[in-house]
Amino acid sequence: MSQLRTQSSGLRDYGRSLLRVAVCVLISELCVLSPELAWADNSNVGTSGAAFLKIGPGARAVGMGEAYTGVADDIDAIYWNPAGLATIKNPEIEGMHMQYFQSILYEYAAFAYPTTSYGTWGMAITNLYTNDLQARTQDTDAPTGTFSANDSAYWLSYAYPITSKLSLGANMKYIHQSLSDTASTAYAADGGVLYDTGWRDVKVGASVQNVGSQVKFANESDPLPLTGRIGASVPVLNKSLLLSSDVILPRDNDAALALGGEYTGRLIDGLRYALRTGYQTGSTVDGLSGISAGGGLTFGRVSFDFAWVPFGELGNTYRYAIHVKFGQPDQKNLTDAPHDTLKQADATRMNDASLEQLLTY
């Protein structure tokens, strides 16, 4: 038994070391690229492949203007900041449907499972597709046929709480795109860090997305939409209002600022509601754009969320999501900091038994 425990401890230490190295490499790349990304002059606009990777999943995060890097306290952390997965206490599953422009549909599903000793594992799939696109081989108004387009990404995620305040996380992604009779594949990684400052429940986070190979169709290759994000969040008004902000640093566009807010309250015993809104700079379309709004209802373990994002003359997008948290329902305010329980102990002094008891609280 002692030998088995020693081997288990060694495996955990090895896994933590690999995670630290992976995240440090990704965050270092973000730091190196930040000056270039922040001062971009639009010269790279339209030069990224797999642009569907820039579509954010999760009705809650999008309803808050995509200012979620410093929030990342649920399963949607897989996309926005994988380090946030380390803060969830029970398994979670989510499904989302989005009605995009011109009969384009977007689907998202994710599952996360926290363990008592080995961090949190997660997986997700995103899919953007459309059918019956008109094909033309000549300069004519008459189509010669129809074709379809299908873009998918498959995610494997892992996060670990290094201390009671600091978490690291990383994703590996397999990307597949098809357009009519041609197809392309690519591989990418994401990394993130989330830190609970311990001061007024302020959290800060950073992530880098889509570090990987190029997407190649026919004889042309395009880089993935590399993006860096730095964000913060703070609960106010007795934690009934959550405020958040993100600085977004895309490779293929100018830097942008995202601001978001979420107000939560109770309707009746066991039934809570959330109202959300956000704003993001950098929109280049004409008409109403840059804003977002949404809401949600939570009954016990189950949440239903909705988000609306207008894109000016292009039209409106709508996200509908269902989110299930297994285990005992969380009786705290939905905006409570997820590390509240961890704050009561010094992680450097915890043994395996106390850590298991804490994470299954």
- Which of 167, 148, 164, 249 shows the shortest CA–CA distance to 205? 167
Gap between the Cα atoms of 319 and 54, Å rounded: 15
Task: Show the CA angle centred on residue 206, arms to residues 312 and 285, nearest 5°.
Answer: 10
Please give the structure tokens belonging to residue 188.
């990418």
Q: What is the pLDDT of residue 286?
A: 77
**What topology is assigned to 2-359 in CATH?**
Porin (2.40.160)
Q: What is the pLDDT of residue 142?
A: 62
Q: What is the pLDDT of residue 299?
A: 95
Question: Cα–Cα distances in Å, from 284 out to 164, 216, 256, 288?
Answer: 41, 27, 12, 10
Q: What is the pLDDT of residue 335?
A: 37
Question: Cα–Cα distances in Å, from 245 out to 5, 20, 85, 332?
Answer: 43, 26, 19, 23
DSSP string for 144-180: -EEEEEEEEEEEEEEEEESSSSEEEEEEEEEEEEEET
Contact 47, 222 (CB under 8 A): yes
- Which of 64, 79, 131, 84 shows the shortest CA–CA distance to 296? 64
Q: What is the pLDDT of residue 19?
A: 47
Successive 10-residue mean pLDDT values, the chain, 361 residues: 49 46 44 45 74 95 97 97 96 95 90 94 96 67 72 97 96 93 92 96 97 87 95 96 97 94 95 97 83 96 96 91 83 40 39 40 35
| Model pTM score | 0.79
Q: Which residues contact 114 (CB under 8 A, 6 or more apart)?
A: 85, 86, 88, 89, 90, 91, 120, 359
Positive or negative CA dihedral for 114, 120, 121, 126?
positive
Q: What is the pLDDT of residue 21?
A: 41
Please give the structure tokens belonging to residue 80.
């926005």
**Longest pairwise C-alpha distance within the chain:** 77
